Structures are given as structure tokens and as C-alpha cells.
Structure 1
Amino acid sequence: MPYTPGEAAGRIGVSIDTIRYYERIGLMTGVERDSVGRRVFSEHDLSRLGLLRCLRDSGMPIARLRRFAELLEGGDETAGQRTALLEEHDREIDEKVAQLRREQERVREKIAWYRSVAEH
């Protein structure tokens, strides 16, 4: 079932401007057009948009997103390279989560300290 840009944006949770931007910078290629030239998005397109959005939301830089999209165009031959890129990103996410946990612990220490001050 084809989706309009608005429907695609709604299903993925992004703006139409984000989809246009992804197309403009080469992250989304090969989007079909209907008989009057309007873009129509397939389930495959939505899946790709969703993955790109996930990677971006989890902190992947645009340059690396472009590289990933480039590798997607290479088909199965590039599966190993895509895997390596995603594994690297996964390690970076782990580092960010660990850092956030450390920061959360400090915030919790301050909460406990302020509570003790407020009780006196």
C-alpha cells in the first residue's frame, strides 16, 4: 500500500520537512512517484525511514548516516560493512548510556542531600 508523504511522516513520527531533507541529502533514494509526480512511499521506504530516524535519534551523525545509506544501496555485498557500522554505533550508545547513568547517580545524590537539608 503506498503512502503519501504526510502519511509516511505520521507513521514514522517525523515531519514532512525531515523526509524532504533526508531525500535531499541522499538518505532516501528511489522513492516512487504516482502518475502526477507526487511521491509515494512503500512499506520498504517506511522501514528505511524508521531505521534512519532511529539511528539519528540515537546520536548517529549525518555523515555516518549518509555512509550507511550509501552502503544500503550496495545490497547484500555491503552487509558486513553495515554490520560493522551499526556495531560501532551500538558501542557509542552504550558509552552514552553509561555516562547518563553516572550523571543520574550524581543527580540522585543531590536530591538526597537537598532532602536531608529540607528536613532540618
Structure 2
Amino acid sequence: MWRQIAAVLVVVGLVTGITHYFRISFVAKASFAFESGDVMAAMLGMWIALLGGLISRRYGFALAVAGTYLLMCCLAVYFISRFLDDDFAGAFALNGWNIAVYVLGGMLGASVGVFIGSGRRRARERVLPGA
């Protein structure tokens, strides 16, 4: 339980800190565009989720990452819909592909991190039974 809480705090803390410091994050747009900033945000989110997966070592963590990233995307879409005087659903649909790439990249990173983390544990159990 403590591993999962620590993993979520690491992911949320790193995403928030890096977003603020480097200005690299998911950005909702008024028209569809998939630019280099979107690729950087998705790759950065994937690597941060991979680190969280190494800490967590449970595949359910990928769902927590997906929920967290989706919440961040919904907040960005909410703010862009407020300034565009558009409804939330329309702005969400406009940014749907970018959101999908960001969320699925995070899930992929978390799953790979869990796979790597659990592989180390299985190797240790083969060498030291009962560890």
C-alpha cells in the first residue's frame, strides 16, 4: 500500500514540478494540432510513469496513472473551454487525439516500469528463496 502511495506522489510531484519549471505539459488547444510540444509532454509523461511503475510494482498502478493524466487533461480542456466560450464536450473532442496519446503513453510507461520492477523481484526470489 505504501509503495503505491509513494509511486503516485512521485508521479504527481514530478509531473507538476517539471510542468512548472520547464513549461512542458499537456496543453489543450483551440484547434487540432499535434506539435513537438505534445510529443515532448507525452514522452516525458511516459518516462515519469515508468519511474512510478518501478516503485509501485503493481499493474493496477497503470490505471492510477491513466486517471491522473486524464484528470490533468480535463483540467486543461476545462480552462480552454472557459476562454473559448465553448462547451466542455466540444473542446474535449477537439483535443481527443492529444489526450489519448498522453494518457496511453503514461499507461505504457507505467506498465513497462512494473514489468521491469517485478522482473528484478522474480530474479531475486530465484536466487534467494523466500526473499
In which range does the TM-score fall when normalised by the shorter chain?
A: 0.3 to 0.5
TM-score w.r.t. the length of structure 2 is 0.36
Determine which structure has the larger helix proportion and give its number: 2
TM-score w.r.t. the length of structure 1 is 0.39
Q: Which has the larger radius of gyration?
A: 1
Tell me: higher relative CO, structure 1 or 2? Use CA pairs within 8 A at least 6 residues apart: 2
